[in-house]
Chains A and B, each alone.
Chain A
Amino acid sequence: MSETKPPLDPNLKALESEAIHIFREVAAEFERPVMLYSVGKDSSVLLHLARKAFYPGKIPFPLVHVDTGWKFAEMIAFRDRMVAEFDLDLIAHTNPRGKLENVSPFSHGSSVYTNIMKTEALRQALDAGQYDAAFGGARRDEEASRAKERIYSFRTPDHRWDPRNQRPELWSVYNGMIRKGESVRAFPLSNWTEVDIWRYIQAENIPIVPLYLAAERPVVERDGMLILAEDKRLELLPGEVKRDETIRFRTLGCFPLTGAIRSNATTLDDIINELETATVSERQGRAIDRDEAGSMEKKKREGYF
């Protein structure tokens, strides 16, 4: 809000306006919208845009955070700070069945774990609120099956996505008509790229979880991934050693499933520089995408975001 802030460049301004337009359209067309807040960088941008879209009013819908119980501790601390600072209406939900059965990525494997603690938990949270529209921060440049996602992505009453049968989406005229029980996932950041996200965070001074910036942190190497070794629940396997390395994260999820990258990028400028010369994609550190080709699509069909 500072008056000396330079205006956004035309690219970021166009992306920002488009996202604000989508926020307003969904808020006006649906009865019970909700925003999925994952605490990551895309969610931070999404939250900022929502605040802008409804200014001078407040964000007219709640936020839902699907908390698997295995998020980075810094993410939870950051989330709680945002809730306090921006006076957000946030609902944190953990799958009670998963909690009861002690479902963990270690005991159940990443696939079963993701299904119960993320996909099923999300469905529970959406059903509980009877939400008819849910904002998410997915971008089309993230992954091949996302490239075909609509901005309004239609879901059946059991939250399924049918990629073969999507509504055509022309211009920026969105079809928000649904029957009772059906819902729409709305993606205001569809047309953003990873670099756009970072340039916008920089231009707008948006708070992010510090894990995105490089620092010396304890890690262990497992299955070719660098896992953060801060949480007591991480048990070292035979042969594994914990050591300090200068690392950061390109995406944030559940700590046992999210690989860090070795990086010296301690500032936003560094990150943007690093990205512009990057030779690997951002989801490379995500274990859940690697199970098999087409795995993201499969998860999405089942209701994963």
Chain B
Amino acid sequence: MTANAEIAVEAGAGIAPVSRNARPLRLITCGSVDDGKSTLIGRLLWDTKAVKEDQADALERDNRNNQNELGLPDFALLLDGLQAEREQGITIDVAYRYFSTDRRSFIVADTPGHEQYTRNMATGASTADLAVLLVDARAGILEQTRRHATIATLMGIRQFVLAVNKIDLIDYDEATFDHITAEFRQFALSLGVTDVTAIPMSALLGENVVHPETSSMPWYSGPALIEVLELATQRTAQTVGFRFPVQRVSRPNESFRGYQGTVAGGSVKPGDSVVILPAGTVANVKQIVTFDLVRNAAVAGDAITLVLDRHVDVARGDMIASIDAAPAVGRAFEAKLVALSAEGITAGKRYWLKSSSRRQRVRVQPKTKLDLTTGQWEGSENLPLNAIGTVHLDFDEAAMFDPYETNRNTGAFILIDPDTNNTVAGGMTVARTTSIDGIDGGAERNHVLLSLPEDLADRLMASEAYASLRDHIEIRRTSGAQAAAILHELEGD
């Protein structure tokens, strides 16, 4: 029976194009206004035949005069879904477009280029595997290019395509292309990004987008955009520790009690020892239940129902995690934020924080703000709309996080303003901090300086708790009197 099933799978896989079976690659396109972003996306949809005849007809009906010089429809009209955008001729929100080749399918988050829409870019980037940065070959790398690359990197994107567009307008000049590419690579390195593919491109003429172009650019032997997209890697959270944020408790009858949720990291199988956070209770996994069958394993991304071997207290918002690699639990964390609302983020204000299925009260203290022109983090007490900054999070009750770098699912959160119910920030946790870390700033170095009497300092350094914080805490030995003086000074303000 099992053998039959396996054969059936293989036969089935042979029928459909590969692209239908694999998870789509998610990408985001960024560029300044008029760099050709709409033209590029339109070109991708058009050349992969994602635009259907009736949609093309509707375009023509809409605006007969708006065809471009090649007699193709104005792609921007195809993309700009909302009437308000059509009227203003700008894209003001994130839209998701679909296209596919025989090898892979794609979802592109189409986000606007205007500076004031950083928040939309952050939204699109939050789920993307790869970013395509457009530059106008005539203008080269702009501040906006750096800004977009920085935001994309912050949101966890590590693969970039630099699309040097409108190459036709600079006579396919190799030297200019090389110059732009070198400048960007250097900047990307400063962000820690090494995976950059630069492509000379004419979105308008369709050169090096889906179809490779050699005659006009014999000097370029690299891939067309679509090839890079077909080969790009996708993020998974399967290699980290088991994480299972509980969404709901299922109790259909007296004999069944299961915890429903989606595996947010690692994998799980019956018999595994787990810890329920924040309580810290321990249990073993008894069963993994799904509608189709009782399974012998589940991995990151799977929506399952988990049954434990004993009766323990588990509620929505709790996290079930592997016992030997649990996330950090604490009341104070450090995080990076993107401010998404016009009111900005106010120092000391209490917000709702939602991460996975957990919602709790938090006080937010901005520390620094990223200057997107210089790339420097500068001290700041508040974060206006579209600003990116580091903050301290102080919780009333214990919170659980992984660093965003290790696990996007359990490191990401949103802030909700309790007065308006609006989502006002997207956040990424960096590390847990101790509540005494307010004593000395140094947040930009992700570092805490403790001034302690000598005997206390020695005891702390020998403790186990300190071992895990060694990278973040620097201890300065002082006399008891000196320590008291420092404390007194602090309490004064």
Contacts and interface: CB of A to CB of B under 8 A. Distances in A.
A163 B93 contact: yes
A21 B261 CA distance: 7
A254 interface: no
Given A199-B20, A276-B17, A5 B292 contact: yes
Given A16-B303, A169-B123, A297-B81, A11 B53 contact: no
Contacts of B176: none
Interface string A267-305: 001001000101111011000000001100110000000
A179 B418 CA distance: 11
A11 B20 contact: yes
Interface string A162-193: 01101111111111011100000000001101
Interface stretch (A50-58, A92-100, A103-111, A233-241): A50-58
B81 A170 contact: no
Interface stretch (B2-10, B142-150, B223-231, B324-332): B2-10
Contacts of A169: 123, 423
A55 B23 contact: no
A11 B105 CA distance: 10
Most-contacted residue by chain A among B61, B82, B293, B303 (CB, 10 A): B303
Contacts of A276: 17
B41 to A, nearest CB: 11
Most-contacted residue by chain B among A145, A177, A269, A284 (CB, 10 A): A177
A279 B51 CA distance: 8
B453 interface: no
Contacts of A297: 81-83
25 contacts: A4-B1, A4-B4, A6-B5, A11-B23, A11-B24, A14-B301, A17-B262, A17-B301, A54-B250, A54-B260, A144-B82, A148-B81, A164-B84, A170-B123, A171-B426, A173-B354, A175-B416, A175-B423, A177-B352, A177-B421, A178-B421, A190-B96, A284-B52, A293-B58, A294-B83
Contacts of B107: 191
Given A6-B5, A175-B354, A272-B16, A163 B23 contact: no
Interface string A114-133: 00000000000000000000
Interface in B85-128: 86, 92-98, 105, 107, 119-120, 122-123, 126-127
Given A147-B97, A148-B95, A175 B414 contact: yes
B3 to A, nearest CB: 10
B247 interface: yes
A279 B52 contact: yes
Interface of A: 1, 3-7, 9-11, 13-14, 16-18, 20-21, 24-25, 27-28, 51-58, 140-141, 143-148, 163-164, 166-175, 177-179, 190-191, 193, 195-196, 199, 269, 272, 276, 278-281, 283-284, 293-294, 297-298
Nearest to B415: A175
B248 A170 contact: no
Contacts, number: 192
Given A148-B81, A297-B81, A24 B247 contact: yes
Contact of B93 (A20, A21, A148, A279): A148
B55 A281 contact: yes
Closest A-B pairs by Cβ, 3 of them: A144-B81, A57-B252, A20-B303
Contact of A171 (B94, B127, B260, B357): B127
Given A163-B84, A278-B52, A280-B53, A179 B303 contact: no
A56 B252 contact: yes
B62 interface: yes
Interface stretch (B167-175, B405-413, B456-464): B405-413
A264 B12 CA distance: 22
B423 A167 contact: yes
A189 to B, nearest CB: 13
A164 B91 CA distance: 11
Most-contacted residue by chain B among A11, A171, A191 (CB, 10 A): A171
A7 B97 CA distance: 28
B290 interface: yes
A171 B409 contact: yes
Given A24-B247, A53-B303, A168-B123, A141 B82 contact: no
Number of contact residues on B: which range applies?
35 or more
Given A6-B9, A24-B303, A173-B412, A55 B291 contact: yes
B303 to A, nearest CB: 4
A21 B54 CA distance: 34
Given A24-B303, A175-B423, 16 more contacts: A5-B292, A6-B6, A9-B20, A10-B21, A10-B22, A17-B302, A24-B248, A28-B247, A57-B252, A140-B98, A144-B78, A144-B82, A171-B412, A171-B426, A173-B413, A284-B52
Contacts of B20: 9, 11, 195-196, 199
A216 B93 CA distance: 45
A223 to B, nearest CB: 15
Nearest to A178: B421
A14 B21 CA distance: 10
Contacts of A196: 20
Given A16-B303, A24-B261, A51-B291, A6 B105 contact: no
A279 B56 CA distance: 10
A121 B355 CA distance: 36
B362 interface: no
Nearest to B289: A56
Nearest to B91: A148
Contacts of B86: 293-294
B265 to A, nearest CB: 13
B426 A168 contact: yes
Given A140-B96, A170-B414, A175-B421, A56 B250 contact: yes
Contacts of B301: 13-14, 17
A119 B301 CA distance: 36
A11 B100 CA distance: 13
Contacts of A18: 303
Contacts of A20: 262, 303
Contacts of B416: 175, 177
B126 A170 contact: yes
B13 interface: yes
Nearest to A144: B81
Interface in B248-271: 248, 250-252, 256, 258, 260-262
